[in-house]
Amino acid sequence: MPYSNEVYNIAANRLYERRQNALRLADFRREQLFTEFPRLREINSELMSIGASIGKCIIKGSSQPDIRELSERSLSLQQEQDRIFADMGIDSKVLQPEFTCPVCGDTGHIELENRTVVCDCFKKLMADVAAEQLNTDLPLDKCTFETFKLDHYSDKPDQNGRSPLDRMSKIYNYCVDYADNFTVSSKSLFMRGATGLGKTHLSLAIANEVIKKGMSVIYVSAPDILSKLEREHFTYQYSAQEDTFNSLIKSDLLIIDDLGTEFSSQFTVSCLYNLFNSRLLAGKPVIINTNLRLSELVEAYSQRFVSRVLGSCDRLEFIGEDIRTLKQSR
């Protein structure tokens, strides 16, 4: 699925800036060296002149001896340049630009089997731009493992003999381990429990650590993202809808919060199933948070959807009292 012109242009501009910055830095380093070692400037100038002369000889069809003589002179100059660098203890590559992507040189395109194709770095950049447009209000700085407080949970067993503190300690440790060992093929998570028990906090704490690993994360609330997809679909903004769905599928980790609080329709149910199924088929993890009981999920989304989710996720059941209410009472 292609990206919109807006996403493409933003990514292309960033790629252009990367390339220009690399070229400017290379020019700066080269000028410093040439100032300190004038002979390097002379060699560089003569090599450029020889390159131009060889090109003219080829176009004019000059004799091979002329081209051979120029090539031998070029080789001699390159060897002299290498000796100067060796004496200085500097890698001769210092004159070359250090591009972010050495495959395409930050152009975004490569030649493959006599075809010009989009480089993987450009594809990732477009995916990152699309993800940024969905993550504008991500409260990552407030939700870390360090700021998650287990002392909000009671150590008294409930009617089922379960201690909220014991259960949440295990869930907390599980999430820390999950984040530490996260890969793009990690298992999906299904977090279920009443409001205010820390599902969103731990989800975003995982997101923090995944982002530190250099991977992409998209966090969305079910009402917001489904409303966006529905609006784009029914107002015929198919390009925007494609961008949204594409970025949701391609991100390394997708977090869907507040599942079940959205306005439910045949479109939203179908959208959710396709989104979750597409990521599973791509082998990419999803974290789903919901306040609904399993029977309510089945009623809202169908047995098929719930079975697909539960069969593909590690299930974390949150218990305890609403932390936000406890904070206010204290």
Domains and CATH numbers, the chain: 5-120 (no CATH), 135-329 (3.40.50.300)
Task: Give 5-43 pLDDT, tens digit per residue.
Answer: 777 888 899 999 999 999 999 888 888 888 888 888 888
Q: How far apart, in whole angstroms, are the C-alpha atoms of residue 179 and residue 206? A: 5
Question: Tokens representing 108?
Answer: 């975004």
Average pLDDT estimate for 279-290 = 92
pLDDT category, 268, cuts 50, 70, 90?
A: confident
E strands in the chain = 109-112, 115-118, 188-192, 217-221, 253-259, 286-290, 313-317
Segment 270-284 mean pLDDT: 88
Residue 131 predicted with pLDDT over 70: no
pLDDT tens, 72-114?
888 888 888 888 888 878 777 777 889 999 999 999 999 888 8
- When pLDDT is cut at 50, 70 and 90, the band that residue 1 belongs to is very low
Residues in a beta bridge with 290: 192, 259
Whole-number average pLDDT of the chain: 85
Q: Using alpha carbons only, give the angle 137, 142, 148 rounded to the nearest 5 degrees.
A: 135
- Please answer whether residues 29 and 96 qualify as being in contact, where contact means their C-beta atoms are separated by less than 8 angstroms: no
Which pLDDT value is given to residue 134?
58
Predicted local confidence at residue 330, as pLDDT: 55
